[in-house]
Amino acid sequence: MNKILIGPGGTAGLGYDEGLKRLHELNLGALEVEFTHGVNMSNATAKAVGEIAKKFDIALSCHAPYFINLASEEKAKITASKKRILDSCEKAYYLGAKCVVFHPAYFGKMDKKNVYKIVKEEVTDLMGTINQNKWDVELALETTGKHSAFGDLDELLQLVKEIKCALTLDFAHMKARTEGKMGYGEMLDKVKGFKHIHSHFSGIEWTAKGERRHLLTPDKESKELLTEIVKRKMDITIINESPDPIGDAYKMKKILDELR
């Protein structure tokens, strides 16, 4: 049977010991460790958290800090962004997490082709450093929800093809970015060649500029997405990023069990 892992983004304030135990009790199989405002974790702590996750058979991933722009016009900001990503990769290695998720860049005053070229160069350089350090982790660039941000699904698929990085398909962001015009089936068809897909999901509110805020996940949306995944027999990790990530991940798992 294809592997569908569902879990939350973060532990909703429970901490890792209590949070991982709670996910195990709810039969959830994934957790994204959130370094939202900075990487404030020692390697020893990362290793200890990784051991607990292994004991409970919970797959870990990491989300790098939000303050990242690989195409900034200020070189210092690019350097700082790359350090945040590499710090996240180091912790991911000790956690035993396979992928590091991040929002790659903003267009600013530059055209899309130029930003694509810069992101490609910087991510290639980051992948070189990861290889040098022998960290067994992948950079999973995330589809973004605002038109001002680099990270349309087609842009990222092209990047994956050219430099063999990974991607994170954020279904809610893509829904906001396309103002609801792209359905889950169409999104999944674009990644059908992938052995495993790392993804994010939640309810979403958007404007003409794209994503406005994450919302609680409607059961109807969860069922619609999971039906498309089950139909395609896909291997996928779904990280719920709603305001109630554990509660919504649990509801999604129940819907999945019913569908199966």
φ/ψ of 5, rounded to 5, equals -100, 135
Give yes or no for residue 260 having a pLDDT over 90.
Answer: no
Q: What dihedral do alpha carbons 260, 229, 216, 11 form, nearest 10°? A: 80
Dist CA 42 CA 172 (whole Å): 32
Q: What is the mean pLDDT of the chain?
A: 97
End-to-end CA distance of the chain: 10
pLDDT of the residue at 2: 84
Dist CA 153 CA 88 (whole Å): 23
What is 4-259's CATH number? 3.20.20.150
- Count how many Cα atoms sit within 13 Å of the Cα of residue 131 in the half-sphere of its side chain: 7
**Ranges of each domain in the chain:** 4-259
Tell me the pLDDT band of 1, cut-offs 50, 70 and 90. low
Tell me the pLDDT band of 101, cut-offs 50, 70 and 90. very high
Q: Identity (one letter) of the amino acid at 3? A: K
Token digits of residue 29: 């199989």
Instruction: Tell me the mean pLDDT in the region 76-96.
Output: 98
Q: pLDDT digit string (tens) for 185-228?
A: 999 999 999 999 999 999 999 999 999 999 999 999 999 999 99
pTM greater than 0.75: yes
Tell me the pLDDT band of 108, cut-offs 50, 70 and 90. very high
User: Exposed, middle or buried: residue 224 (CB in 10 Å: 0-12, 13-18, 19+)?
Assistant: middle
Which one, of 193, 146, 206, 198, lies nearest residue 170 by Cα? 198
